Structure 1
Amino acid sequence: MSIEIGMTGRAETVVTDRNTALAVGSGALPVFATPMMAALMEAAAMDAVATGLEEGQGTVGTRLDITHDAATPVGMKVRAEARVTAVDGRRISFTVSAWDEAGPIGSGTHQRCIISNEKFLARTNQKKEAPHVN
Protein backbone atom coordinates (compact mmCIF):
# COMPACT_ATOMS: atom_id res chain seq x y z
CA MET A 1 0.00 0.00 0.00
CA SER A 2 1.27 3.45 -0.82
CA ILE A 3 -1.18 6.14 0.22
CA GLU A 4 0.58 9.48 0.55
CA ILE A 5 -0.30 12.95 1.77
CA GLY A 6 -1.19 15.13 -1.19
CA MET A 7 -2.90 12.47 -3.32
CA THR A 8 -6.01 13.96 -4.94
CA GLY A 9 -9.18 12.64 -6.49
CA ARG A 10 -12.20 13.97 -8.27
CA ALA A 11 -15.80 13.00 -8.99
CA GLU A 12 -18.44 14.72 -11.11
CA THR A 13 -22.17 14.57 -11.72
CA VAL A 14 -25.01 16.56 -13.21
CA VAL A 15 -27.98 17.56 -11.07
CA THR A 16 -31.06 15.68 -12.27
CA ASP A 17 -34.52 15.11 -10.84
CA ARG A 18 -33.16 11.89 -9.24
CA ASN A 19 -30.46 13.51 -7.06
CA THR A 20 -32.42 16.45 -5.69
CA ALA A 21 -33.37 17.01 -2.07
CA LEU A 22 -37.01 16.49 -3.05
CA ALA A 23 -36.25 13.10 -4.66
CA VAL A 24 -34.06 11.66 -1.89
CA GLY A 25 -36.17 12.95 0.99
CA SER A 26 -33.66 15.36 2.52
CA GLY A 27 -35.66 18.46 1.66
CA ALA A 28 -38.69 19.76 -0.18
CA LEU A 29 -37.04 21.55 -3.10
CA PRO A 30 -35.68 20.39 -6.48
CA VAL A 31 -32.03 21.34 -5.77
CA PHE A 32 -28.90 19.18 -5.40
CA ALA A 33 -29.33 17.14 -2.22
CA THR A 34 -26.84 17.39 0.63
CA PRO A 35 -26.60 13.57 0.91
CA MET A 36 -25.74 13.43 -2.79
CA MET A 37 -23.02 16.06 -2.33
CA ALA A 38 -21.65 13.98 0.56
CA ALA A 39 -21.64 10.87 -1.65
CA LEU A 40 -19.83 12.78 -4.40
CA MET A 41 -17.19 13.91 -1.90
CA GLU A 42 -16.75 10.31 -0.75
CA ALA A 43 -16.37 9.20 -4.37
CA ALA A 44 -13.64 11.81 -4.86
CA ALA A 45 -11.86 10.50 -1.75
CA MET A 46 -12.05 6.92 -3.05
CA ASP A 47 -10.65 8.12 -6.37
CA ALA A 48 -7.77 9.87 -4.57
CA VAL A 49 -6.45 6.65 -3.04
CA ALA A 50 -7.52 4.03 -5.59
CA THR A 51 -4.07 3.69 -7.14
CA GLY A 52 -2.42 3.24 -3.72
CA LEU A 53 -4.48 0.25 -2.60
CA GLU A 54 -3.39 -3.36 -2.91
CA GLU A 55 -5.41 -6.03 -4.70
CA GLY A 56 -8.51 -6.91 -2.67
CA GLN A 57 -8.40 -3.74 -0.58
CA GLY A 58 -10.96 -0.98 -0.44
CA THR A 59 -11.88 1.90 1.80
CA VAL A 60 -14.97 2.65 3.84
CA GLY A 61 -16.07 6.03 5.07
CA THR A 62 -15.96 6.45 8.84
CA ARG A 63 -16.42 10.19 9.37
CA LEU A 64 -17.73 13.12 7.36
CA ASP A 65 -17.92 16.72 8.58
CA ILE A 66 -19.13 19.03 5.82
CA THR A 67 -21.09 22.19 5.13
CA HIS A 68 -23.42 22.64 2.17
CA ASP A 69 -23.19 26.36 1.52
CA ALA A 70 -24.99 26.97 -1.78
CA ALA A 71 -27.86 25.37 -3.68
CA THR A 72 -27.44 23.97 -7.20
CA PRO A 73 -30.39 23.74 -9.63
CA VAL A 74 -31.30 20.84 -11.90
CA GLY A 75 -29.17 20.82 -15.04
CA MET A 76 -25.92 22.16 -13.57
CA LYS A 77 -22.69 20.17 -13.30
CA VAL A 78 -21.21 19.51 -9.86
CA ARG A 79 -17.68 18.35 -9.10
CA ALA A 80 -16.05 17.26 -5.87
CA GLU A 81 -12.38 17.06 -5.03
CA ALA A 82 -10.58 15.32 -2.17
CA ARG A 83 -7.00 15.65 -0.96
CA VAL A 84 -5.24 13.28 1.45
CA THR A 85 -4.09 15.29 4.50
CA ALA A 86 -2.98 12.49 6.85
CA VAL A 87 -2.32 8.75 6.90
CA ASP A 88 -2.35 6.99 10.28
CA GLY A 89 -2.06 3.25 9.76
CA ARG A 90 -5.25 2.22 8.00
CA ARG A 91 -6.97 5.59 8.67
CA ILE A 92 -6.84 8.22 5.93
CA SER A 93 -7.93 11.85 6.39
CA PHE A 94 -9.01 14.16 3.58
CA THR A 95 -10.11 17.69 2.89
CA VAL A 96 -13.12 17.66 0.59
CA SER A 97 -14.79 20.39 -1.42
CA ALA A 98 -17.49 20.74 -4.05
CA TRP A 99 -18.32 23.28 -6.74
CA ASP A 100 -21.03 23.83 -9.29
CA GLU A 101 -20.59 25.87 -12.46
CA ALA A 102 -21.20 29.10 -10.49
CA GLY A 103 -18.69 28.49 -7.68
CA PRO A 104 -18.09 26.69 -4.38
CA ILE A 105 -21.04 24.86 -2.81
CA GLY A 106 -19.54 22.91 0.08
CA SER A 107 -16.43 21.80 1.96
CA GLY A 108 -15.18 19.91 4.98
CA THR A 109 -13.21 16.90 6.14
CA HIS A 110 -13.59 13.18 5.65
CA GLN A 111 -11.99 10.00 7.02
CA ARG A 112 -11.82 6.57 5.45
CA CYS A 113 -10.39 3.28 6.69
CA ILE A 114 -8.55 0.78 4.50
CA ILE A 115 -10.19 -2.64 4.63
CA SER A 116 -9.88 -6.09 3.12
CA ASN A 117 -13.03 -6.23 0.98
CA GLU A 118 -13.56 -9.96 1.54
CA LYS A 119 -13.07 -9.88 5.32
CA PHE A 120 -15.23 -6.77 5.67
CA LEU A 121 -18.14 -8.32 3.78
CA ALA A 122 -17.83 -11.62 5.67
CA ARG A 123 -17.90 -9.81 9.03
CA THR A 124 -20.81 -7.63 7.94
CA ASN A 125 -22.84 -10.60 6.67
CA GLN A 126 -22.40 -12.32 10.05
CA LYS A 127 -24.87 -9.77 11.41
CA LYS A 128 -27.65 -11.68 9.65
CA GLU A 129 -26.79 -14.80 11.67
CA ALA A 130 -26.43 -13.07 15.07
CA PRO A 131 -29.37 -12.67 17.42
CA HIS A 132 -31.13 -9.34 16.98
CA VAL A 133 -31.06 -6.89 19.87
CA ASN A 134 -33.70 -4.20 20.11
Structure 2
Amino acid sequence: MEFNLNIGLKHKEEKTVTMNDTAFVFGSGAAKVFATPMMIGLMEAAAMNTVKDYLPEGFSTVGISVNIKHIGATAVGKKVYAEAELIEIDRKRLVFNVEAFDEDKKIGEGIHERFIIDEEKFMSNLS
Protein backbone atom coordinates (compact mmCIF):
# COMPACT_ATOMS: atom_id res chain seq x y z
CA MET A 1 0.00 0.00 0.00
CA GLU A 2 1.20 3.51 -0.83
CA PHE A 3 1.14 6.21 1.82
CA ASN A 4 0.96 9.92 1.02
CA LEU A 5 4.01 10.93 3.10
CA ASN A 6 6.86 13.25 2.23
CA ILE A 7 10.25 13.96 3.78
CA GLY A 8 10.14 17.28 5.62
CA LEU A 9 6.71 16.95 7.24
CA LYS A 10 6.80 18.64 10.68
CA HIS A 11 4.67 18.87 13.82
CA LYS A 12 4.93 20.54 17.24
CA GLU A 13 3.41 19.33 20.53
CA GLU A 14 3.41 21.47 23.67
CA LYS A 15 2.35 21.33 27.29
CA THR A 16 2.98 22.92 30.67
CA VAL A 17 5.00 20.80 33.09
CA THR A 18 2.98 19.69 36.13
CA MET A 19 4.06 17.81 39.23
CA ASN A 20 2.71 14.63 37.59
CA ASP A 21 5.31 15.07 34.81
CA THR A 22 8.28 15.03 37.19
CA ALA A 23 10.95 12.40 37.63
CA PHE A 24 9.97 12.28 41.31
CA VAL A 25 6.35 11.28 40.59
CA PHE A 26 7.18 9.10 37.57
CA GLY A 27 9.72 7.18 39.66
CA SER A 28 12.66 7.77 37.34
CA GLY A 29 14.54 10.07 39.73
CA ALA A 30 14.36 12.07 42.93
CA ALA A 31 14.24 15.55 41.37
CA LYS A 32 10.98 17.45 40.91
CA VAL A 33 11.81 18.36 37.30
CA PHE A 34 10.41 17.29 33.90
CA ALA A 35 11.07 13.55 33.65
CA THR A 36 13.02 12.09 30.76
CA PRO A 37 10.27 9.53 30.01
CA MET A 38 7.73 12.38 29.83
CA MET A 39 9.96 14.32 27.43
CA ILE A 40 10.31 11.23 25.24
CA GLY A 41 6.54 10.78 25.31
CA LEU A 42 6.08 14.37 24.12
CA MET A 43 8.60 13.73 21.32
CA GLU A 44 6.77 10.53 20.32
CA ALA A 45 3.45 12.39 20.26
CA ALA A 46 4.95 15.04 17.98
CA ALA A 47 6.22 12.35 15.61
CA MET A 48 2.96 10.40 15.64
CA ASN A 49 0.93 13.54 14.96
CA THR A 50 3.27 14.56 12.13
CA VAL A 51 1.90 11.78 9.94
CA LYS A 52 -1.48 10.76 11.37
CA ASP A 53 -3.56 12.94 9.04
CA TYR A 54 -1.73 11.52 5.99
CA LEU A 55 -2.54 7.87 6.73
CA PRO A 56 -5.65 6.07 5.46
CA GLU A 57 -8.53 5.25 7.81
CA GLY A 58 -7.61 2.30 10.04
CA PHE A 59 -3.85 2.93 9.91
CA SER A 60 -1.62 4.55 12.52
CA THR A 61 1.95 4.29 13.77
CA VAL A 62 3.72 2.70 16.71
CA GLY A 63 7.07 3.69 18.15
CA ILE A 64 9.84 1.16 17.57
CA SER A 65 13.02 2.99 18.55
CA VAL A 66 14.20 6.03 20.49
CA ASN A 67 17.73 7.41 20.67
CA ILE A 68 17.33 10.51 22.80
CA LYS A 69 19.55 12.78 24.89
CA HIS A 70 17.98 14.78 27.73
CA ILE A 71 20.31 17.78 27.94
CA GLY A 72 18.52 20.29 30.18
CA ALA A 73 16.31 20.28 33.27
CA THR A 74 12.92 22.00 33.33
CA ALA A 75 11.01 23.18 36.41
CA VAL A 76 7.33 22.56 37.16
CA GLY A 77 5.19 25.32 35.65
CA LYS A 78 7.37 25.90 32.60
CA LYS A 79 6.01 25.38 29.09
CA VAL A 80 7.74 22.70 27.03
CA TYR A 81 7.36 21.67 23.42
CA ALA A 82 8.67 18.98 21.12
CA GLU A 83 9.17 19.25 17.38
CA ALA A 84 9.37 16.31 15.01
CA GLU A 85 10.47 16.27 11.38
CA LEU A 86 10.10 13.26 9.10
CA ILE A 87 13.60 12.67 7.70
CA GLU A 88 13.43 9.16 6.21
CA ILE A 89 10.80 6.84 4.76
CA ASP A 90 11.64 3.16 4.24
CA ARG A 91 8.38 1.45 3.18
CA LYS A 92 6.44 1.42 6.50
CA ARG A 93 9.39 2.50 8.70
CA LEU A 94 9.50 6.23 9.41
CA VAL A 95 12.46 8.10 10.93
CA PHE A 96 12.06 11.44 12.69
CA ASN A 97 14.47 14.04 13.98
CA VAL A 98 13.05 15.17 17.33
CA GLU A 99 13.94 18.10 19.58
CA ALA A 100 12.45 19.41 22.82
CA PHE A 101 12.61 22.88 24.30
CA ASP A 102 11.39 24.74 27.35
CA GLU A 103 10.83 28.49 27.58
CA ASP A 104 14.57 29.13 27.91
CA LYS A 105 16.55 26.46 26.09
CA LYS A 106 16.77 23.20 24.17
CA ILE A 107 16.23 20.33 26.61
CA GLY A 108 16.41 17.25 24.39
CA GLU A 109 17.28 15.90 20.97
CA GLY A 110 17.52 12.68 19.06
CA ILE A 111 16.07 10.25 16.55
CA HIS A 112 12.76 8.41 16.84
CA GLU A 113 11.51 5.63 14.57
CA ARG A 114 7.90 4.61 14.04
CA PHE A 115 6.25 1.88 12.00
CA ILE A 116 2.97 2.19 10.08
CA ILE A 117 0.41 -0.41 11.16
CA ASP A 118 -3.00 -1.60 10.12
CA GLU A 119 -4.65 -1.12 13.53
CA GLU A 120 -7.11 -4.04 13.28
CA LYS A 121 -4.47 -6.50 12.07
CA PHE A 122 -1.98 -5.28 14.69
CA MET A 123 -4.44 -5.68 17.56
CA SER A 124 -5.59 -9.13 16.37
CA ASN A 125 -1.98 -10.37 16.56
CA LEU A 126 -1.62 -9.52 20.27
CA SER A 127 -3.33 -12.58 21.69
Give the TM-score, by structure 1 length: 0.92
Deviations 1:59-95 (A, max 9, x none): 0000000000000000000000000000000000000
Partner of 1:38: 40
Deviations 1:30-60 (A, max 9, x none): 0000000000000000111112111000000
Partner of 1:94: 96
Partner of 1:64: 66
Task: Choose which of 112, 115, 125 in structure 1 pairs with 2:114.
Answer: 112
Partner of 1:3: 5
User: 2 CA distance for matches of 1:55 and 1:83?
Assistant: 22
Does 2:35 match 1:24?
no
* SS of aligned partner of 1:36: helix
Query: Counterpart of 1:8 in structure 2: which amino acid?
Result: K
Does 2:53 match 1:51?
yes
User: 1 CA distance for matches of 2:48 and 2:11?
Assistant: 7
Q: Percent identity?
A: 48
User: Which stretches of structure 1, 4 residues or longer, exceed 2 Å deviation after superposition?
Assistant: none
- Structure 1 residue runs without a partner (length 5+): 127-134
- Structure 2 residue runs without a partner (length 5+): none
Partner of 1:76: 78
Query: Counterpart of 1:77 in structure 2: which amino acid?
Result: K
In terms of Rg, which structure is larger? 1
Compute the RMSD of aligned alpha carbons: 0.6
Partner of 1:131: none
Structure 1 position 13, deviation (Å): 1.1
